[in-house]
Structure 1
Amino acid sequence: MNPIQILSVVIIIFLFAGIRIVYEYKRAPKFRFGKYIKTLKPGFRWVIPIIETIQIVDIRVITINIVSQEVMTEDNVPCSIDGVLFFKINDPERAVLEVEEYKFAITQLAQAALRDVCGKVELDTILSKREEMGKNIKSIVEIETKEWGIDINDVKIKDIQLPENMRRMMANQAEAERSRRARIILALAEEQAAGKLLEAGKLIDQSPSAIKLRLYQTLSNIAAEKNSTILFPFPEEVLPRKANNKKKKKKK
């Protein structure tokens, strides 16, 4: 190969070595001799090999798991709490220049904030107000991340692990509460039923015809059963008038 061909090959390799493709959901801060120049937008890009470098930054919402943290609540209950954090980079330049490893830094901040927030409240508050706990953790973390060009979208408490004896105590408490509610409902039902029976008794007592209707209904229900003989004593006053007149004639 002559020198011109060699030079052509070197130039082609040099040109291909500088080709970069930046995807739509990414940005690429560009450095020349280690100094920040600008942030490359999506598309086909070319950098000077060796002299220029880029660092790819994902600007989509990123999820970080907050590993389980041992927490002592305000009422001295030990528990393990984990969660999840969602964040998004809105300024790639600051995310690269202001902090060395932004994912690691956010993870450490979230863990510390979780221990701090949950350690200042009682266990019942953590169990019943998870959403509020997540918002408190978010407010603490985003104070630092705003300076890095990072927005914290949300923080969620995922799981709360309690000691075995505490779980048994809570189960017994829940069972006692359910039993108490059941007894209250039963007592209210009996009270209402007694009131209705009292009202019905007053109505029947005020109307002799109502007593007869009730008696006939009872006889009808008994007659539906396959019994050979039915003895049903009742006062003569509740019999129809015709039956009473016949009895009086027989006596005469």
Structure 2
Amino acid sequence: MFIPQIILLVLLGALVVTALRVLNEYERGVIFRLGRCIGAKGPGLIILIPVIDKMVKVSMRILTLDVPNQDVITQDNVSLKVNAVIYFRVVDPVKAILEIEDYMFGTSQLAQTTLRSVCGGVELDDLLSHRDKVNARIQAILDQHTDPWGIKVATVEVKHIDLPQEMQRAMAKQAEAERERRAKVIGAEGEYQAATKLAEAAEIISHHPAALQLRYLQTMREMASESKSATILPIPLDILNVLMPKKAGNTTKD
């Protein structure tokens, strides 16, 4: 006579076990009651009505999405391959379940399309030197389109840009030519500065003739300190001017 009671207790225990759910801190449960969404619950212990309620778990942690290589033609007609990584999280679990069938797949496809569109609208130099602006633009577009799905895009980073070998060689030649141009400009600036200083020195010596004599003596001292068999003595130009005969002036007839 205790068998029906035991069976009833077992059934009640099974119903209690199936009705209880435990959600972690980073999880939310979207509850459907007879096919209608009644909202999200969690974290912690929640109670479901067996057979009537159905729960779909949604993770609220930041998710990482790897965007595979995309063939891109930049604005200046350069073909390359670009890949990226996207960090996003679900901020509204109800929208993430109701508004789109698979938010992971939808975000992935949207990220691939946006990456091709944005990289194709800029030149190669901007893509290489202003990558932060490209990342910000991709993030803004993705965040705008995924907002109705209850998804927030946190960060977008372009990871790798695969350039053709011909373009890499052309960029190497361009960089080499730029370095040579800078070297020539620096050399010309050095010559200009040296000529300027020499002109200033000549101006000072012209006003102070004793400075030329001191320079002459210093040059002789430097040459005498070197161990050489022959010594060359520079002759000041003023001596040559004294030794050269003066030209007779033009005479006028009365």
The residue number in structure 1 matching 2:72 is 71
CA distance in 1, matches of 2:78, 2:123: 8
Q: What secondary structure, in the 3-state scheme, does the structure 2 residue paired with 1:56 have?
A: strand
The residue number in structure 2 matching 1:2 is 3
- Deviation digits for residues 110-156 of structure 1, max 9, x if unmatched? 11112122223332232233222223323333333121112223322
Aligned residues with identical type, % of pairs: 41
1:30 offset after TM fit, Å? Answer: 1.2
CA distance in 2, matches of 1:135, 1:163: 26
Q: Which runs of 5+ in 2 are unaligned?
A: 240-254
The residue number in structure 2 matching 1:154 is 155
User: CA 1:233–1:165 in 2, change beyond 3 Å: closer, same or farther?
Assistant: closer
Q: What secondary structure, in the 3-state scheme, does the structure 1 residue paired with 2:214 have?
A: helix
Spell out the pairing of 1:121-140 with structure 2 (5 A cutoff): 121-140=122-141
TM-score (norm 1): 0.82
1:167 offset after TM fit, Å? Answer: 1.0
The residue number in structure 1 matching 2:104 is 103
The residue number in structure 2 matching 1:145 is 146
Spell out the pairing of 1:18-29 with structure 2 (5 A cutoff): 18-29=19-30
User: What letter matches 1:149 in structure 2?
Assistant: G
1:20 offset after TM fit, Å? Answer: 2.1
TM-score (norm 2): 0.81
CA distance in 2, matches of 1:234, 1:142: 82
- Deviation digits for residues 140-190 of structure 1, max 9, x if unmatched? 333331211122233222221111111111111111111111111111111
Q: What secondary structure, in the 3-state scheme, does the structure 1 residue paired with 2:66 have?
A: strand
Q: What secondary structure, in the 3-state scheme, does the structure 2 residue paired with 1:152 have?
A: strand
Q: What secondary structure, in the 3-state scheme, does the structure 1 residue paired with 2:76 have?
A: coil
User: CA 1:170–1:143 in 2, change beyond 3 Å: closer, same or farther?
Assistant: same
Q: What secondary structure, in the 3-state scheme, does the structure 2 residue paired with 1:82 have?
A: strand
1:4 offset after TM fit, Å? Answer: 2.8
Q: What secondary structure, in the 3-state scheme, does the structure 2 residue paired with 1:55 have?
A: strand
The residue number in structure 2 matching 1:60 is 61
Q: Out of 182-191 and 127-136, give the one that drifted further.
A: 127-136
User: CA 1:230–1:171 in 2, change beyond 3 Å: closer, same or farther?
Assistant: closer
CA distance in 2, matches of 1:52, 1:75: 57
Q: Out of 217-226 and 137-146, give the one that drifted further.
A: 217-226
CA distance in 2, matches of 1:57, 1:210: 89
The residue number in structure 2 matching 1:84 is 85
CA distance in 2, matches of 1:127, 1:60: 31
Question: How many corresponding residue pairs?
Answer: 237
CA distance in 1, matches of 2:66, 2:121: 22
1:32 offset after TM fit, Å? Answer: 2.1
CA distance in 1, matches of 2:21, 2:218: 94
User: CA 1:120–1:233 in 2, change beyond 3 Å: closer, same or farther?
Assistant: closer
